Amino acid sequence: MVDSIAPDLIEVKNLEKRFALDEGFLETVKFRGGKILREKREVHAVNNVSLNIVRGEALCVVGESGCGKSTLARLVVGLLKPSAGQVLYGGTRIDNLSAKDMLPYRRKMQMIFQNPYASLNARMSIEQALMEPVKVHNPRLSRAEIFDKVAEVMQAVGVDPSWAKRYPHEFSGGQRQRIAIARALTMDPEFVIADEPISALDVSIQAQVLNLMLEAKDQRGLTYLFITHDLSVVQHFGTRVAVFYLGSLCELADTKTLFDTPKHPYTQALLSAVPKLSDEAPSHIRLKGEIPTPINLPPGCPFESRCVHANARCLAEHPAPLQKPDGAIVACHAVEEGRID
Amino acid sequence: MSLLSVRDLVVKFAMRHQTLTALDHISFELAQGERLGIVGESGAGKSITGFAILNLLSQPGFIAGGKIMFDGKDMAALSSEEIRLIRGDRIAMIFQDPMVTLNPVLTIGEQMVETLQAHRNISRSDAEKIAIVKLREVYIPAPEERLSQYPHELSGGMRQRIIIAIALLLDPQLIIADEPTTALDVTIQADIMELLLELCQNNKVSLILITHDLGVVSQMTERTLVMYAGKIIESGKTREIVNDPQHPYTQGLINALPQQTVAGHRLKQIPGNMPGLGSLPPGCAFHPRCDFATDICKKSVPEFVSFADVKVACHEVARLHKTKKAEAKDG
Amino acid sequence: MSTDTLSRWARFKSSNLVHDFIHNKVAMVSFLIFAAFVIATVFAPLIAPFDPYDPLQINIMNSELPPSWQDGADPQFVLGTDDQGRDLWSAILYGTRISLIIGICAVALQAFLGITIGLLAGYVGGRTDSILMRIADIQLSFSTLMVAIIVLAVTKALFGTQSFNEYALFMLVLVIGIAEWPQYARTVRATVLAEKKKEYVDAAKVLGFGPIRIMLRHILPNSVSPIFVISTVQVANAIISEASLSFLGLGMPVSQPSLGSLIASGQDYIFSGSWWITAIPGFFLVLLVLVINLLGDWLRDVLNPKLYKG
């Protein structure tokens, strides 16, 4: 079944995720304009997103809070079931598999979480936390064999194996994130999803963890889906970048192309807003208004309310992602019509 | 004369087993209208500095020594009532998380009027007029309607603007902003920072900006203090510090930024972690992580001395400066 | 291995729990009294001068003797005797033993049912959650005593006093245990709902662990604090319930008295001057319940992270 020649490790097709805001019958009953209505409000977290992740690359997904990037990560890894669309792993559809059929993919796909203070079980020693997954997936291994595996991985992430008996609270945030990475690596995954893995860490520690992830990529041939809001990290880490806004894909391009020639107005604004060391004063593209809520989205372009280039078509019609000559995929009417370049 | 003068400030925390020194002889001056950045990692003592200036330290922290002179008055010698009058009136503070700083059960208007009436003998309608003027100053659309709204009806960026408007209500001489945009998105952060800068410049308000983000400090401030493990290790003009840092820690912080490295290459990381206050190494607190440490760094605490255009606490700063210059010539 | 256990002991000694305990006089005194209760009941056969279950040691001629500090007392009965001439001190030791056994076993049963149901409801969610929690609501809307009285009275009527008395202990544990499980189920469900959202649970799912392993190995150990706290309150409640039922004649028989049946057996004699038969076991019951509740209060203060982390 698995086609090992396929260059795309992951393929996401027309993925959608909606969360119901009103659960239970009573919450859906609303009183409006003298009438009693039954209405279900939904949050459109991910909206008709298609993208692919090539074997060996690091695809970065950027966007602001609530843009659906974390939901996308959870959909790909199977923590959430999509409302519509498909997730394919090496050509096989995995979003509709049963827990049992999913097991082989569980080993190949691992996830690193944002908060190293919450992603490790406080009641388990490091040794227990790292040995458990190996034991569960290889019931025939002896304890010594399992420990060898764990010690090897701990060494690889720079955590002294002699600390294995300690509990998470005895470690700093950076060390915990190393341990969380080690836990993912115990499974020998080929694909790692990292959801804001460094945003809870201090600046000098961020560099350490990023370096560790780059090393793991080179040595183990990992493929990454890297979720972040920090564009300077993206520029350094990603081979390609996907920019999200309100659950929709705005722009997807090679890192260099995106940073050199951002095309979508939102990408342009986002890039200009990053404070740089060379700046002597804020110098960013000002957006009007605020980010709208993703509840019952309007039919048009999600960025329309804040975009200086918006016109009537942007209000009425959702822009389709289109490929530009330099390979960038952009979803914007103004770019398509040549109103902006 | 400077507006704020902090001399040899020592703050300690009385813990169960020992007393920890959170701030170790911090000294700095701030002129009227000047913008100062305090940079450091979490636990370096930058937030505690802000709290200590306002005498807002809570148990088990306490000021164990030093002087904080604000506008010629010694803050430590004032009664709690006198400090209360300065707080909010002459010095305003903006906190990190706009979601928790506003009281969720009071409307924006009530909170603004309450703040004004706590410090001025003023009628409700006059207070509301001032509130509307200030809301307009921070570019809040339709300010009259906002007064009757509750915090949860507003977005994070809007709330932080309102917090800034509240901070400006009494025309303070000094604003202390503790990571004011960390909880906000990049595009909103840029807006808020620009607003804060504009307000400080227009009204000649002094600003202490506490942050971990060197990029923000670079955009916003004229002078910068770099803190590490409770001490100031480097201070000077922001430009100088950003372009030509002298302390190996400051250099490390700047070099560790992804923008300083070619994409895909290893970042120049600082090894190790900042030590906890309970386990500070002898000598220079940075020496276990420092590539340039020598024997003297392990033994004695470096003095805070002038070097080049900045002040820096490092034994090896002269040698370091020379190598850096030589490298710059070669490269 | 020894270094490991040693460090675990050292870790325990330096923990917040122990530190707070040493600095809290109320908790210390309560714990000492509770420990004294436990030791006294465990070693009751060694401490007690008489065996209250042995009819040969009971002499009706010794009935209603006052405690030793009163006139007309017999020095071999320190706290006096009851209406049948049983040594009150021995009866209280054995009675406390039965009260504690019923209390702890009933709570163990409650905890087992409640934790299982709470874990399932909280983790699985959806319809399972709704159904289980509605059952809990229904159970809670009957008061424990009402359920217990009905069940015990019916079984007593069905099987006769003789056979009921034989199995009274089991019946009490069963009835009190089943009547109060929703307390646990609700608390556990609430903590599970909070824990379930934490990233370590997602991490466990991504690692391919099954739901039972996640519930038992990951979520449950992180939910023990509230379980601990309600357990103390529930033991106190169960002891009170048992005493009430025995007082009403639906609990332990007079031949195997618990604290409740001792109090009940003396109530006819209060006005004839033999107040001690009711008052002294009553005092021990109040003391036992009080120290358990005080310990529970202290535990709640210490284990509530909002109170000590701020």
* DSSP code per residue over A160-228: -GGGTTS-GGGS-HHHHHHHHHHHHHTT--SEEEEESTTTTS-HHHHHHHHHHHHHHHHHHT-EEEEEE
| Token duo for residue B45 | 């003592």
The structure tokens 């020639």 sit at A261
Domain boundaries, chain C: 24-49+78-309
pLDDT value at residue C309:
33
pLDDT at B116 over 80: yes
For residues B249 and B39, the answer to whether their CB atoms sit within 8 Å is: no
Residues C294/C233, Cβ–Cβ less than 8 Å: no
Q: Are residues B242 and B311 in the same domain?
A: yes
My answer on whether B114 and B221 are in the same domain is yes
B203 domain residue, yes or no: yes
Q: Which residues of A touch C222 (CB under 8 A)?
A: 121-123
Q: Kindly state whether residues B181 and B160 are assigned to the same domain.
A: yes
CA C96 – CA C89 distance, rounded (Å): 11
Chain B residue with CA closest to A285: the answer is B187
State the ipTM, two decimals. 0.84
Report the C-alpha gap between A209 and B276 in whole angstroms. Answer: 20
Question: Tell me, what CATH number does B166's domain have?
Answer: 3.40.50.300
Question: Cβ contact (<8 Å) for B218 and A275?
Answer: yes
Count of domains observed in chain B:
2
Q: Do A136 and C208 touch (CB under 8 A)?
A: yes
Predicted TM-score (pTM) of the model is 0.83
Show which subunits contact A, needing at least 3 CB pairs below 8 angstroms: B, C
The confidence score (pLDDT) of residue A76 equals: 94
C274: which 2 tokens?
């033999």
Note whether residue B64 is domain-resident: no
Residue found under tokens 């003298």: A34
The tokens for B185 are 């998105």
Average pLDDT of the residues in A82-108 = 91
CB contact under 8 A, A236 and B157: no
* Other CB atoms within 10 Å distance of the CB of residue A48: 18
Q: Give the list of residues 6+ apart from residue A59 with CB closer than 8 angstroms, or none.
A: A51, A53, A224, A225, A226, A238, A239, A240, A241, A242
A106-131 mean pLDDT: 91
Contacts of C131 (CB under 8 A, 6+ apart): none
Angle at B147 (CA atoms; ends B145, B153), nearest 5 degrees: 80
What would the 3-class secondary structure string for chain B be? CCCEEEEEEEEEEECCCCEEEEEEEEEEEECCCCEEEEECCCCCCHHHHHHHHCCCCCCCEEEEEEEEEECCEEHHHCCHHHHHHHECCCEEEECCCHHHHCCCCCCHHHHHHHHHHHHCCCCHHHHHHHHHHHHHHCCCCCHHHHCCCCHHHCCHHHHHHHHHHHHHCCCCCEEEEECCCCCCCHHHHHHHHHHHHHHHHHHCCEEEEEECCHHHHHHHCCEEEEEECCEEEEEEEHHHHHHCCCCHHHHHHHHCCHHHCCCCCCCCCCCCCCCCHHHCCCCCCCHHHCCCCCHHHHHCCCCCEEECCEEECCCCHHHHHHHHHHHHHHC
Give me chain C's average pLDDT, please.
84
Which of C203, C209, C222 faces A122 most closely, judged by CB atoms? Answer: C222
Mean pLDDT, all residues of chain A: 87
The mean pLDDT of A90-97, rounded to a whole number, is: 90
Q: End-to-end distance of chain A based on CA atoms, in angstroms? A: 43
Collect all residues of chain C within an 8 Å Cβ-Cβ radius of residue A121. 200, 204, 218, 221-222
Residues facing residue A322 across a β-bridge: A330
Which residue is listed with tokens 């992804």?
A: B258
- Model confidence over B300-327: pLDDT tens digits? 999 998 887 889 999 988 888 888 888 7
Range of the domain at B109: 32-56+75-226
Residue A295 class from Cβ within 10 Å (0-12 exposed, 13-18 middle, 19+ buried)?
Answer: exposed
Mutation choice for A interface testing from B46, B154, B179, B186 by most A CBs within 10 A: B186
Closest CA to B190 of B160, B169, B148, B223: B160
CA distance A212 to chain B (A): 9
Question: Which one of A171, A246, A290, A305 would you mutate to disrupt binding with B, by most B Cβ within 10 Å of its Cβ?
Answer: A290
- Decide if pLDDT at A306 tops 90: no
Q: What is the reported pLDDT for A24?
A: 64
Q: Residue A25: its pLDDT value, please?
A: 65
| Average of per-residue pLDDT across B183-194 | 84
Q: Which of A130-139, B258-267, B316-325 has the lowest mean pLDDT?
A: B258-267
Residue B317 covered by a domain: yes
- Residue A175 CB burial class (10 angstroms; 0-12, 13-18, ≥19): buried
Within 13 Å of residue B195, how many CA atoms lie on the same side as its CB? 26
One-letter amino acid for residue B285 of the chain: A
Q: Would you tell me the crossing angle of helices C276-303 and C259-266 to the nearest 10 degrees?
A: 150
> For residue A330, what pLDDT is reported?
94
Q: Judge: A121–C204 Cβ closer than 8 Å, yes or no.
A: yes
The alpha carbon of A218 is separated from its chain's Cα centroid by a whole number of angstroms, namely 20
Determine the straight-line distance between the first and last CA of chain B, rounded to whole angstroms: 44
Residue B48 has pLDDT above 80, yes or no: yes
Whether residues B220 and B242 share a domain: the answer is no
CB-based contact C209 A136, cutoff 8 Å: yes
B177 and B277 both lie in a single domain: no
Q: What is the pLDDT of residues B27-44, one digit of tens each?
A: 999 999 999 999 998 888
Which residues from C are below 8 Å from A118, CB to CB?
198-200
Are residues A280 and B268, on separate chains, in Cβ contact within 8 Å? no
Same domain, B213 and B244: no
Strand-pair category, B231-237 with B310-312: antiparallel
Residue B27 domain-assigned (yes or no): no
Q: Three-state SS for A20?
A: strand
Interface mutation target, options A202, A214, A215, A268, chain B, most CBs of B under 10 Å: A202
Q: What is the separation of C-alpha A61 from the centre of its chain, rounded to a whole number of angstroms? A: 6
Which residues does A contribute to its contact with C (CB < 8 Å)? Answer: 74, 77-79, 99, 102-103, 106-107, 109-111, 113-115, 118-124, 132-133, 136-137, 165, 180, 183, 187
Q: Is the pLDDT of residue C306 over 70?
A: no
Within a domain: B67: no
Hey, is the C-beta of B268 within 8 angstroms of any chain A C-beta? Answer: yes
B270: nearest CB among A204, A236, A274: A204
The mean of the pLDDT values for chain B is 88
- Helices vs strands, H then E, count in chain A: 12, 14
> Which one-letter DSSP state was computed for residue C215?
I
List of long-range contacts for B316-325, beta carbons under 8 Å, 24+ apart: B316/B248, B316/B292, B317/B246, B317/B247, B319/B292, B320/B246, B320/B248, B320/B292, B321/B246
- Triad A304, A307, A313: Cα angle to 5°: 45
Q: What is the pLDDT of residue C8?
A: 65
Contacts of C7 in chain A (CB under 8 A): 165
Residue B94 lies in a domain: yes
Answer yes or no: do B197 and B174 share one domain: yes
Q: Are residues B214 and B245 in the same domain?
A: no
- Is A136 close to C213, i.e. CB distance below 8 A? yes
For residue range A148-196, list pLDDT tens digits in order. 999 999 998 988 888 888 888 888 888 999 999 999 999 999 999 999 9
Residue B303 domain-assigned (yes or no): yes
| pLDDT of residue A3 exceeding 60 | no
Q: What is the C-alpha separation between B190 and A270, in angstroms, rounded? A: 10
pLDDT tens per residue across span C99-129: 899 999 999 999 999 999 999 999 998 889 9
Give the pLDDT confidence score for residue C110 in this predicted structure. 93
Domain boundary among B201, B226, B251: B226
Q: Which of the other chains make 3 or more beta carbon contacts under 8 angstroms with chain B? A: A
pLDDT of C134 reads 93
| pLDDT for the residue C34 | 92
Find the range with the poorest average confidence among A278-292, B185-199, C179-193.
A278-292
User: Which of C14, C15, C199 to mutate: most A Cβ within 10 Å?
Assistant: C199
pLDDT band per the 50, 70, 90 thresholds, residue A213 = very high
B58 at the A interface (CB within 8 A)?
no
Same domain, B194 and B322: no
Which of residues A257 and C52 earns the better pLDDT score?
Answer: A257
C206 touches chain A (CB under 8 A): yes
Q: Which two tokens stand for residue A238?
A: 């990603």
| Beta-bridge mates of residue B280 | none
Domain's final residue, options B226, B256, B276: B226
Residues B303 and B195 in one domain: no
Which of B242, B252, B269 has its CB closest to that of A211? B269
pLDDT at B233 over 50: yes
First to last CA, chain C: 36
Whether the pLDDT of residue A341 is over 80: the answer is no
Cβ–Cβ below 8 Å for A133 and C208: yes
A–C interface: beta-carbon pairs under 8 A = 63
Chain B hits for A202, CB-CB cut-off 8 Å, are: 41-42, 212, 274
Name chain B contacts of A273, Cβ cutoff 8 Å.
186-187, 189-190
The residue out of B226, B253, B287 marking a domain boundary is: B226
Which of chain B's residues have a Cβ under 8 Å away from the Cβ of A237? 258, 263
pLDDT at A21 over 70: yes
Q: In the A/B pair of chains, how many CB contacts fall below 8 A?
A: 124
Question: Which residues of chain B does A207 touch, with a Cβ-Cβ cutoff of 8 Å?
Answer: 256-258, 267-270
**B161 and B102, same structural domain?**
yes
| Residues contacting B50, CB < 8 A, separation 6+ | B38, B93, B176, B178, B208, B210
- For residue B242, list chain A residues with Cβ-Cβ distance below 8 A: 277
Please give the structure tokens belonging to residue C100.
């504690």
Q: Count of alpha carbons within 13 Å of C163, Cβ hemisphere only? A: 6
Q: Do B118 and B88 contact (CB within 8 A), yes or no?
A: yes
Contact between chains at C207 and A121 (C-beta distance less than 8 A): no
Binned at pLDDT 50, 70 and 90, residue B237 comes out as very high
Residues of B in contact with A203 (CB under 8 A): 41, 212-214, 253, 256-257
B189 and B248 part of one domain: no
Of the candidate CATH numbers 3.40.50.300, 1.10.3720.10, 3.40.1160.10, 3.30.1330.10, the domain formed by C24-49+78-309 belongs to 1.10.3720.10
**Domain annotation covers residue B15:** no
Contact status, residue B229 vs residue B214, Cβ threshold 8 Å: no
Separation CA C163–CA C171 (nearest Å): 11
Amino acid sitting at position B12: K
Report how far residue B79's alpha carbon sits from residue B314's, in angstroms, rounded to the nearest whole number.
Answer: 39
Smallest Cβ distance to A77: which of C200, C206, C217?
A: C206
Contact A64, B186 (CB under 8 A): yes
Q: Nearest Cβ partner of A121 from C200, C208, C210?
A: C200
Among residues of chain A, what percentage have pLDDT more than 90?
48
Neighbour-count burial of A101, counting CB atoms closer than 10 A to its CB (0-12 exposed, 13-18 middle, 19+ buried)? exposed
Mean pLDDT value of segment C147-162: 86
Residue A243, φ and ψ in degrees, nearest 5 = -100, 125
